[in-house]
Structure 1
Amino acid sequence: MGAAPAEHRPDVPVLDGGTRDAEGIWHRSLLLLHLPAHRQDGHKIISADRSRSPDLPEYSLATIMAVDGIMSRDVVTVPSDTILTDIRKCLQEGGVHHILVIEDGGLCGVISDRDVLRALSPFLDTYTEGHRDVHPLALPAQEVMRTEPVTVTPGTDIEEAAPLLLDHDISSLPVVEGNELVGIVTTKDLLNHYTNGANRPAYAVDRGHAAVSMTD
C-alpha cells in the first residue's frame, strides 16, 4: 500500500535529538490520554494536562460537543463480499484509513488500513508474494473486517467517545442512528477538535472523508 505521508500517519517514530536514534513510536491516540475534561463556568472543557506532559504545546480550550459536530458524513462503504484487492484500492483512491462493511443494508464490520496490512503481512517480501494469485488478495471483506463494531450515536458526547477508542484499541467509531449509518468519527477528528475546535468550530463538518462507495 506504500508509506503514508507524514501528515496522514497515525504513528510517528520518536528520535533522540542528539543521536537521531529511534527511541519509540508515538501514536496519535496516545495524546487522548493527556486531554482530561474539567469544568469552567458550567461548561465541560478539554485541555492538555501539562502536569503529565509539560512539553506539550498550549492548546486552545475546546468546549465539549456531540459527535455529530465533528463526524464525517461521507463514508466509504463496501459489501461484505468485496475482495481485499478492491478494498485496498478504495483506501488508496479515497485517501481514507477506514472502510465500513455493509450487509443486508446494515453495518456489519469495519476494515482499517492496519487490518489490510495485517492480512497481507505474512506474504510480504516472501516467495509466496509473487504467487498469491488467489490468497490473500481474494479474501472477502467478511474475513478481514472487525465484526461487532463499536458504534456511537450522533448525540454521543465527544468526551464519551474518546475513551471508547482507547478502551477497544481502535481508531474509528461508526456513527449510527437507529439502523442507519450516518457517519464516522476517527481519532484524528477528535484531536482536531481538542486542539482546534474552539477556533474552528466548522472545521470537522467541512472536512469529510472521500465519498467512495462500492455496490453489488
Structure 2
Amino acid sequence: MFVKDCMTTSPITIPKTTPILDALEKMKRLKIRQLPVTEKGRLIGLVTERELLTVTPSPATTLSIFEMNYLLSKMVVGEVMVKDPITVSPDTTMEEAALIMRENKVNCLLVMQGDELVGILTQTDIFDAFIEFFGLKKAGTRLVLQTQDRVGALAELTDIIRAMNINIRAFVVHRKDNDVVHIIVRVNTIDPEPLVKELEARGIPVLSVD
C-alpha cells in the first residue's frame, strides 16, 4: 500500500495572509487540524491547529478581550507556519511514511508530485491503513498462531487453510525473538473450530481466537 492509496487528494489550502482566527475557524468548521499554506499555487508552508493555539493568549492573560482580539486580528499564518514542511511522494510506502512521521514527531505529511501539492497524509490515514491491514472491517475470525521462524512455515500454514476451503482476509507476522514468530491471520469463517483443531494437530499452537 502506498501513500497515494490513502492520502486525501486536493487538500484545502490557505494563503499566508490568512488571519490566525480565520484559520482556526476554518479548521473547526471543516474538522481538520492542519492547512497547507500556498502562494501563487506553490507550497510555502504548513500551519497546524496546535501551532495556532500556542500563539493565542492563555486564560491567565491580563489582556482584555478587546486587546486579545485586536492582537490576534493582526497576526497571520505566515508568521507562525512551518516554512519547510516534510513532504513525500505519492509512491512512498505507507510503512515508510509512518516511520517518517514517527521519527520527526509530526502529525501529517504533505504529498508532492514534482512541484505540485497533490495530497496530505495524516495520522488518521495511518490508523485507517492499519485497520485495513488487519482486515478489522471485514467479517471473519482473528487467530493468533505461534510457529518457528523457519523456511516454509508460512507456506505450510496457508496450505492448511486453503485445504479447508477458507479464505485469508489479512495476514501479519510479529517477530517475538530470533526463533519464534506470532502470526495474526484473519479468515473468512465464523466457525473456526475445525481449523483450530487442524492447526493444533499439525503442531501449530493457536494462542487466541477472536
TM-score in terms of structure 1 length: 0.59
2:20 aligns with one of 54, 69, 84: 84
Inter-partner Cα distance in structure 2 for 1:108 and 1:181:
10
- Cα deviation, residue 198, structure 1: 5.1
Residue of structure 1 equivalent to 2:156: none
2:125 aligns with one of 166, 181, 189: 189
Q: Which has the higher contact order (CA 8 A, sep 6+)?
A: 1
1:94 aligns with one of 26, 30, 33: 30
Inter-partner Cα distance in structure 1 for 2:59 and 2:128:
34
| CA shift digits 1:49-92 (9 cap, x unpaired) | xxxxxxxxxxxxxxxx1100000114221001111011011101
| CA shift digits 1:150-173 (9 cap, x unpaired) | 001111111111111112211000
Q: Which range is displaced more, 190-199 or 168-177?
A: 190-199
Q: Structure 2 unaligned runs (5+)?
A: 139-210
Q: Structure 1 unaligned runs (5+)?
A: 1-64, 202-216
Alignment partner of 1:166 is 2:96: no
2:61 aligns with one of 121, 126, 131: 126
Inter-partner Cα distance in structure 1 for 2:32 and 2:72:
21
1:193-212 alignment, distance < 5 Å: 193-197=129-133, 199=135
Alignment partner of 1:149 is 2:149: no
1:114 aligns with one of 39, 45, 50: 50
**Contact 1:76–1:99 at 8 Å: present in 2 too?**
yes
Inter-partner Cα distance in structure 1 for 2:75 and 2:94:
35
CA RMSD of aligned residues (A): 1.8
TM-score in terms of structure 2 length: 0.60
Identity level (%):
28
